[in-house]
Amino acid sequence: MYIVGNKRGFLLAELGQLNLKGELHIKHLERVKSVTDAKEANMFSKHLSLLWLSWERTAESQLQENVEQILEVLQPHIHHLQELRVEGYTGVHFPQWMSSPSLKNLHCVYIKDCQSCLHLPQLGKLPYLKELFISNVSRIIYLDEESYDGGAEGGFTELEHLSLEKLPNLIRISREDRENLFPHLSALVVIECPNLLGLPCLPSLNYICIQGKCNQDLLSSIHKHGGLESLCFYDNKELTCFPDGMLRNLISLKLLMIWSCSEIEVLDEALQHVTSLESLILSDLQNLKLLPASLGNLGFLHKLIISNCPKLTCLPMSIQSLTGLESLGIYSCSELEKRCEKETGEDWPKIAHVQNIEIRNTRLIF
């Protein structure tokens, strides 16, 4: 780590004399006074595998001039770079080098707290990008704005993991709905993106996690992804129910987790469609009152966890038909705990066939 300061021994230009390799984090870039100082750091001569460039949001950063040119001249040697992080950058535009197809070893990009930026770099042009994390870049509307010149091959051809966090104005992942975009994307995390509309068809997607407020159109588009194996919802205080048909085509789904969605009262009959489900986790659902009879249709279910669902007072009779259920955990659900007491509880006959049962008056922490 190199912390930029205003005195000799801490000036960015002094990096120019050093033969650096491996990983480098440069902090407090808001203290750089001129493009010349940044250029003298001679970053293009550094054979770095990881470069992390960060600005702190201070009065100094708001007054910094030529910040776009400063980032432009901080380009490292392109042939060795594997991971790039940019945090707190106050420019409106990113330099072209960040999306150069010549960055053939770059597999991970992390962009955070760049709140003045109107557009992201053209990251779809990076030929071997596998992981992309975008957080708190509040003005962007699209992740990908490229047309790819009408060619058959779209962008992000090798991307496997995409995380989108705190993007209040993001409305679509791609400006164009091209079927060949994101062909290898397997994991998608969406956190606090309330205006993100439906997903395009992502043929390799097997994991989705949606956290915080989200658009109903986003939920309705989940059904397109028949190869999905894990689906998680977390911390949505406004979600009262799931759209009709959201789970209808998810024939490969093995894990469904719904956590801290306090307004959900019932899980409707949609569960009947996810017949391949193996694990169901329900936690911190303060208003959940009922589990559907369709729970009994989940013939492959072997793990059921219910934690901190205080209004859930009984289990459906159909749970008796889950002969493959191996593990049942009930935590901090006072009424349900009483009904499921061994031998004496009213619901005990429904679950007596389950091999491993744990009932505790403590919340389960994941």
Please name the fold of domain 1-145+154-199: 3.80.10
- Cβ 2 vs Cβ 24: under 8 Å: yes
Q: Is 7 helix (H, G, I), strand (E, B) or coil?
A: coil
178 pLDDT above the threshold of 80: no
* Assigned CATH for 206-365: 3.80.10.10
Summarize pLDDT for 30-66 with one digit per residue, the tens. Answer: 988 889 999 998 999 889 999 999 999 877 666 677 9
Report the pLDDT value the prediction gives residue 151, as an integer from 0 to 100: 46
How large is the average pLDDT for residues 337-350? Answer: 93
Instruction: Give the DSSP H/E element, type plus range, for residue 336.
Output: helix 334-339
144 pLDDT above the threshold of 50: yes
Report the pLDDT value the prediction gives residue 60, as an integer from 0 to 100: 67
- Nearest C-alpha neighbor of 204 from the set 187, 219, 191, 221: 187
Report the pLDDT value the prediction gives residue 147, as an integer from 0 to 100: 61
How large is the average pLDDT for residues 326-332? Answer: 96
Neighbour-count burial of 355, counting CB atoms closer than 10 A to its CB (0-12 exposed, 13-18 middle, 19+ buried): exposed
Any idea of the CA torsion for 59, 12, 96, 62, to the nearest 10 degrees? 10
Query: Domain residue spans in the chain?
Result: 1-145+154-199, 206-365
152 pLDDT above the threshold of 60: no
Cα 315 to Cα 295: distance, rounded to the nearest angstrom: 10
206-365 matches 1-145+154-199 in CATH topology: yes
177 pLDDT above the threshold of 80: no
